[in-house]
Structure 1
Amino acid sequence: MPWDHPNPFTLPTVAQSQDIDGLNHTNNAVYVQWCEKVAWAHSEALGLALADYRRLDRAMAIRRGEYEYVRPSGLGDEMTLGTWLFSGDGKLAMGRRFQLIRDRDGATILRGRWDLVCIELSSGRPRRMPQEFCAIYLAAAVDRPGGEGG
């Protein structure tokens, strides 16, 4: 597939009837939900789940989200959603990118990006990433020093 960055974490998805809006294509809000789903799956695959966030009293929260809806998708379209982490400042912030590709023709349907900030769950205030976040997330970042993440 023609990925924007190397070695994405991927999840397959298929547009279902409940995903289709009045314009007869996948509703934009569904794409946002799919991005959240692949982001959590990637985090869990790396070894950080919601229980770890609670244990550490820290979370990576979306400070800003952007989505570019490149092409429509329709009922039954089989697609693959990829995601990557970017290192950010390595202390408080990092980034995540998304790309949704239609399987049958390799067309990019969506590109997205999140700017993430580490927060303390108990207060909601920005806090430095704990060592566990740095060791796991930054090691997987595509732009980490010394090579590609994954």
Structure 2
Amino acid sequence: MDWDYANPFVRAITPQPGDIDGLDHTNNAVYVQWCEQIGWAHSEQLGLNLDDYRRLDRAMAIRRGEYDYLLPTVLGEALMLATWLTGGDGKIAMERRFQLIRERDGVTVLRGRWDLVCIEISSGKVRRMPAEFLEAYVG
């Protein structure tokens, strides 16, 4: 696959009947759900899950999400979704990127980007990332 960045975290995805809208292609909201699912899976692979977020009273919240819907996908089509953490200030902010590729021809059908900010769950206020976040997410 021709990924935008090296070392992607990848999941295979196939649109199911409930993902398809009245135009007979994958509904745009479904792509957002897929990005959320792979973002959590990647975080867990890096060593942080929802229980860790609660224990630390910290979370990486989406401050801004952007999606470029380049081509439609259809029921049963084999797709590969990748994500990366591509930047951050090492204090409160990170960036996560997404790329969705159609397997049969290697064409990118979606690109996405999230600007993330660390918050204190109990107050919702922006706070510095704890050491565990820096170790897992920044390296």
Q: Same fold (TM over 0.5)?
A: yes
Distance in 2, Cα, partners of 1:44 & 1:132: 12
Name the residue aligned to 1:49: 49
TM-score, with normalisation over the residues of structure 2?
0.99
Query: What letter corresponds to residue 130 of structure 1 in structure 2?
Result: P
Q: Where does the alignment leave 5 or more consecutive residues of structure 1 unmatched?
A: 140-150
| Higher mean C-alpha displacement, 80-89 vs 62-71 | 80-89
Query: What letter corresponds to residue 48 of structure 1 in structure 2?
Result: L
Following superposition, the deviation at residue 90 of structure 1 comes to: 1.0
Q: Does 1:124 align with 2:124?
A: yes
Following superposition, the deviation at residue 89 of structure 1 comes to: 1.1
User: RMSD between aligned alpha carbons?
Assistant: 0.6
Distance in 2, Cα, partners of 1:43 & 1:70: 26
CA shift digits 1:43-100 (9 cap, x unpaired): 0011000000000000000000000001100011010100000232110000000000
Percent identity, please. 68
The alignment partner of 1:87 has SS state of: strand
The alignment partner of 2:129 has SS state of: coil
Q: Where does the alignment leave 5 or more consecutive residues of structure 2 unmatched?
A: none
Count of paired positions: 139
The alignment partner of 1:18 has SS state of: helix
CA shift digits 1:32-52 (9 cap, x unpaired): 000000000000011000000
The alignment partner of 1:12 has SS state of: strand
Following superposition, the deviation at residue 129 of structure 1 comes to: 0.3
